[in-house]
Structure 1
């Protein structure tokens, strides 16, 4: 529960499953009205019914492909007609495909950047004018530990999440005097259907099964920090130590860690 969310309008992209759906439920439990976006309208309708059966809040669902900028503009125009303003935007939509650069498809690389980076930026731009006018708001960007710590076989995915972190850090400074919070979330591997696409062979999941984060735990930590001045949420905390070690001793880290990191 987060009492700061009571009566707020919260937009969540990629809300049809995984941590997106879990965050939607927690926001609604905290008294927020939720606007849920995803490509699967059927799944959103099911989630909408689940939320309305449990909590006395308004729930609005819209089909949105975050890789389509023109669709983002049209859908957010409808959102702003429906709820008048957005208090919180959680940019959760994203996907990855793990492959070595030699075998990576350029169309997959473009799709990852269109969704993970350009789509996130486009959604953010749609809510910024209203937030700046009200001098209030919170933008939460779901990045990845891969955005801080690049690993073999996830070069393009890591690059897209590095871009998300660069954008987020710059945006935070731009909005520092505007009363708008900006938070980056950098989780390690989470038990969701993300790996159905990212790791078709299942080797990565098998290798790191014991280190997988619970989607419930991640959602709870993110929602609990909304409307606080939180720069980053790194999960699990011990995994972030790898980033610190890499920053201080990059050559040693790459030499020692390469074998373990190739488990994808």
Structure 2
């Protein structure tokens, strides 16, 4: 529970499943109101009915693919019309494909960049003027440990998450001047349907199954941090320690961990 959220409006992209859905549930439990964005309308409708019935909070759904950039301004204007303001945006929409660089089609590279980076930036661009004018707000970007620690078979995905972290870190310094918090969330592998696309063979999922994060616990960490000045959330902690070591001693880690990295 996060008492700060009572009556606040939280926008979540990629809200129809995985940690997006779990974050929506936890915001509703805390008394927050929800603007839910995703492509899968039937799942959004089911989630809206569940949350509205159980928690009696205000929930509105907005079917949108975040790569439909020309539709994003109208969607956020509709959210403003429906709720009056926006207190927080959680940029959760994203996907990955785990393939070696020479196997990854340019279409797939572009797709990951369009959703993971440009869609995130476009949505953020719509809320920043609102938050700046009101003098408060919170943008949370779901990045990845892959943005801090590159590994084989995720070159394009890792590049997209590096971009998210670069954007987030710059934005944090800019937004601080007008009272807006910016948080990066860097989880390791999470037990969601992300891997039905990312890992079609199932090899990676099988190899790291025992290390996978529970989406409910990730969502709990994120919702707990809402409307607080939290710089980063890194999960699991041991993996983030590995990322720090990698930043200090990249050659050593690449040499020693090479065989493990190819378990994808």
Deviation at 1:53, TM superposition (A): 1.3
Deviation at 1:106, TM superposition (A): 0.2
Report what 1:26 is aligned to.
Answer: 26
- The C-alpha deviation readout for 1:176-209, integer Å capped at 9, x for no partner, is 1211110000000000000000000000000000
Q: Where in structure 2 are there 5+ consecutive unaligned residues?
A: none
SS at match of 2:177: coil
SS in 2 for 1:177: helix
TM (norm. structure 2) is: 0.99
**Structure 2 residue 170 is matched with structure 1 residue 170:** yes
State the Cα deviation string for residues 89-140 of structure 1 (Å, max 9, x = none): 0000000001001110000000100000000000001011110111110000
What is the rounded CA distance, in whole Å, between the counterparts of 2:237 and 2:168 in structure 1? 20
- The residue that corresponds to 2:108 in the other structure is 108
Q: Deviations over 1:155-190 (max 9, x none)?
A: 000000000000000000001121111000000000
- 1:95 corresponds in structure 2 to 95
1:207 aligns with 2:207: yes
Aligned to 1:250: 250
Give the TM-score normalised by the residue count of structure 1: 0.99
2:178 aligns to what SS in structure 1?
coil
Q: How does 1:48-197 map to 2 (within 5 A)?
A: 48-197=48-197
Cα displacement (A) at 1:71: 1.6
Deviating more after overlay: 161-170 vs 69-78: 69-78
Which residue matches 1:16?
16
Distance in 2 (alpha carbons) for counterparts of 1:125 and 1:35: 17
Return the offset for 1:220.
0.4
Alignment partner, residue 231 of structure 1? 231
Give me the whole-angstrom Cα distance separating, in 2, the residues matched to 1:184 and 1:65: 22
Segments of 5+ residues of structure 1 without an aligned counterpart are none
Structure 1 stretches (4+) deviating beyond 6 angstroms? none
CA distance in 1, matches of 2:62, 2:229: 29
Measured in 1, the distance between the counterparts of 2:48 and 2:213 equals 25
Q: Deviations over 1:46-97 (max 9, x none)?
A: 0001101111210000101011211212211211121121100000000000
Question: Where in structure 2 are the equivalents of 1:212-223 lying within 5 Å?
Answer: 212-223=212-223
Q: Match for residue 47 of structure 1?
A: 47
Deviates more, 1:152-161 or 1:65-74: 65-74
**Which range moved further: 8-17 or 239-248?**
239-248
Root-mean-square deviation (Å): 0.6
